[in-house]
A and B are shown apart, each in its own frame.
Chain A
Amino acid sequence: MSTKLERQASLFTFAEYDAQAAERAGYSSYSYWGSTVRLFLRNKTAVALLIIMTVLLTFTVIQPYLPGQKSPLKIHTSPETGIQLRNVQPSPEFWFGTNSIGQDLWARIWSGTRTSLFIGLFVGLWTVVIGIIMGAIWGYVRQLDRLMTELYNVISNIPTTITLTLLAYILRPSVSTMIISMCATSWWTMARFVRNQVVIIRDREYNLASRCLGTPTQRIISRNLLPYLVSVIVLRLALAIPMAIGWEVFLTYIGLGLPLSIPSLGNLVNEGRQIMMAPILRYQLIIPAAVLSIITISFYVMGNAFSDASDPRNHV
């Protein structure tokens, strides 16, 4: 008996998985994240920027722990004369030079990048998390819909610049007030979008069919709803960083920025702006502006590329 079975088993061999053959048989090996990643990797610019940003972000985080780094706030003086080392050109000692009171620009730029990215990431996460929660409630709880829509109409009618300026003016400048005023204004668009998607997709035929077939709600949300939202969620998260940095620059420019004791990309650019008329001192404007532009452009391009890649309508 057993020998017969063994003999039969030797007749069968394990088949290798063949995607094409599987498809011919009607089985789709489609994986949402697989397709997303594949599409994203096809965009060479975005991948290059992703690598640059990963390196830059890692460096920004570990920079203060590296040996030989200077404090961003220490005012350097000449050891012989005791005079402040003001406006020193970029040199082996001060890689990016010093500013008008003798602080090391290299240390200030990385410290400022940390501040700005912190603000950006916080605002971005807040926008996405609060936006999704409020949007889902707004879409699902029908009694709330009217109230929320009216509130949204009031708020979206006022230019964001004005709301932001007013809040920052009343709250007085600091990192937390800057975050609060940006967070207060930023989540509404996201919530509105999620609400619309929830309302549109919730009662689509395929969802009704799914529900009739007894698919659990959790699976409907993760398979049928979320893929439509992922691209926008990621886009918002990625764009929140350039947006927050832009707002920070704006608030600094109109005089509501962070104090100089907390370096940020906004107040570094603003510091450089005040002495830009002397061509020899322009490095103090150009270097922070370049770092800032690289960061904002990278996040903008990566966000758009990922958003395109994660849109299920682009998956074939």
Chain B
Amino acid sequence: MLAYCLKRAFFSLITVLIVITVVFLLMRLMPEEGYFGDGYDKLLPEQREAILRSMGLLDPWHVQLKNFYIALSKGDLGTSIIYRPKVPVAEIIGPKIPYSLRFGLVAIGLSLATGLWMGVVQAREKGRLADKLGTGYVVFINAVPAAVYLLFIQLYVTQFTGLPILFHRDYPISWLLPAASMSLGGIAGYAMWMRRFMVDELNRDYIKLARAKGMPSTAVMVKHVMRNAFVPMAQYLPTSLLMTIAGSIYIESLYSIPGMGGLLVDAIQRQDNPLVQALVLIYAVIGIFGLFLGDILMAIFDPRIKLEKREGSR
């Protein structure tokens, strides 16, 4: 087990290093305007060159890469240029994480509770009205781009219920709609998965045996089905938990929540290269770390996974 964890951690680390290097080198291909801010047109070519040189951007790429890694090891993610000139990226991101985190955790809680419940109901009512309604919801959420339906929810739900259309941290009620809309996708995902899992699982022999020996159906559900259902979920839960730090790109900018997701949109629209670079790296590292945790959890929870002795690939 320990050997597996170490090996997996090692590969994750290598992945992170590759990603950092590739992202850094790709960002060097960007046009140099992204390093100047508003005054680009007013500068003489010599001045531009002097600024680029002072930022170390005219060095050969391997020197830049080396400097970047040295700075990273000191926790320096770079400095914003346009979004908030000369402010270190870490300082910009810091106060934004709590917002994204809080919204994200509420949304995950909501989507887990509602989605799993919906899936169970659908499986129990298979083929009947409740199941069809649920499937319709899942199809709608999966097929229609989130940017479209979230927009309409913001537009019409605020109109009919009188909820505030934008987020404001002093009005607790303005938390409601963003958190609810953030959970819609998760609800669809969990419901669809839970339904399929239940339908498959309820026909299995061990369930039939449990029923036959007179186990009450609630106990069958809790002790057998739900427990087995948790195994594959363990793989994805850490990623979704960690991704809450990154925030929801759409919802944060729709409701102007001062979180991380909205920041990425702002940074891209204003072409603030160092900020985009830092954010992309953070998202990527979170994703990689989440999958790492997921694999470890999966290994802990699923006794069927034997890691040390690998069977030859079939």
Evaluate whether A276 and B148 lie within 8 angstroms (CB atoms) in the complex, with A157-B287, A166-B26, A203-B314 already known: no
B30 touches A157 (CB 8 A): no
A254 touches B249 (CB 8 A): yes
A246 and B148 CA atoms in complex are apart in Å by 9
A157 touches B151 (CB 8 A): no
A154 and B139 CA atoms in complex are apart in Å by 30
CB of B73 within 8 A of chain A? no
Evaluate whether A157 and B291 lie within 8 angstroms (CB atoms) in the complex, with A254-B249, A254-B268, A269-B147 already known: yes
Evaluate whether A301 and B27 lie within 8 angstroms (CB atoms) in the complex, with A162-B287, A254-B269 already known: no
A residues contacting the other copy or chain, number (CB 8 A):
38
Chain B residues with CB under 8 Å of A296's CB are 143-145
Chain A residues with CB under 8 Å of B225's CB are none
CB of B264 within 8 A of chain A? yes
B287 touches A250 (CB 8 A): no
CB of B19 within 8 A of chain A? yes
A-B contact count (CB 8 A): 104
CB of B121 within 8 A of chain A? no
Chain A residues with CB under 8 Å of B2's CB are none
CB of A175 within 8 A of chain B? no
B265 interface neighbour in A145, A242, A254, Cβ under 8 Å: A254
CB of B256 within 8 A of chain A? no
A158 interface neighbour in B11, B26, B287, Cβ under 8 Å: B287
A299 and B143 CA atoms in complex are apart in Å by 8
- Interface size classification for chain B: 35 or more
Evaluate whether A255 and B30 lie within 8 angstroms (CB atoms) in the complex, with A245-B145, A246-B145, A249-B145 already known: no
B284 interface neighbour in A158, A200, A246, A254, Cβ under 8 Å: A158
A165 interface neighbour in B11, B243, B268, B314, Cβ under 8 Å: B268
Chain B residues with CB under 8 Å of A174's CB are none
Evaluate whether A162 and B313 lie within 8 angstroms (CB atoms) in the complex, with A169-B268, A276-B151, A301-B143 already known: no
CB of B219 within 8 A of chain A? no
Chain B residues with CB under 8 Å of A169's CB are 30, 268, 276
Chain B residues with CB under 8 Å of A255's CB are 265, 268-269
A153 and B148 CA atoms in complex are apart in Å by 32
Chain B residues with CB under 8 Å of A158's CB are 19, 283-284, 287-288
Nearest residue (CB) in B for A142 is B313
Nearest residue (CB) in A for B159 is A279
B15 touches A154 (CB 8 A): yes
A162 and B152 CA atoms in complex are apart in Å by 25
A199 and B268 CA atoms in complex are apart in Å by 42
A174 CB to nearest chain B CB (Å): 15
CB of B140 within 8 A of chain A? yes
In chain B, positions 9-28 with a C-beta closer than 8 Å to chain A are 11-12, 15, 18-19, 23, 26-27
Chain A residues with CB under 8 Å of B144's CB are 292-293, 296-297
B131 CB to nearest chain A CB (Å): 14
CB of B280 within 8 A of chain A? yes
Nearest residue (CB) in B for A242 is B143
A159 CB to nearest chain B CB (Å): 5
CB of B155 within 8 A of chain A? yes
Please indicate which of the listed interface residues B19, B145, B152 has the most CB atoms of chain A within 10 Å of its own CB: B145
Chain A 268-286, CB within 8 Å of chain B: the 1/0 string?
0100010010000010010
Nearest residue (CB) in B for A255 is B269
Chain B residues with CB under 8 Å of A282's CB are 155
B137 CB to nearest chain A CB (Å): 12
A residues engaging B (CB < 8 A)?
145, 153-154, 157-159, 161-162, 165-166, 169-170, 199-200, 203, 242, 245-246, 249-250, 253-256, 269, 273, 276, 282, 285, 289, 292-293, 296-297, 299-301, 304
Q: List 14 A-B contacts (CB under 8 A).
A: A157-B287, A157-B288, A159-B284, A162-B287, A199-B313, A199-B314, A203-B314, A242-B142, A250-B147, A253-B147, A253-B265, A255-B269, A296-B144, A304-B139
Ranked 8 nearest A-B pairs via Cβ = A300-B143, A246-B145, A255-B269, A249-B145, A297-B143, A157-B288, A296-B143, A162-B283
Given contacts A254-B264, A296-B145, 10 further A-B contacts (CB under 8 A): A162-B283, A165-B268, A166-B26, A169-B276, A242-B143, A249-B145, A250-B145, A250-B146, A250-B250, A300-B139
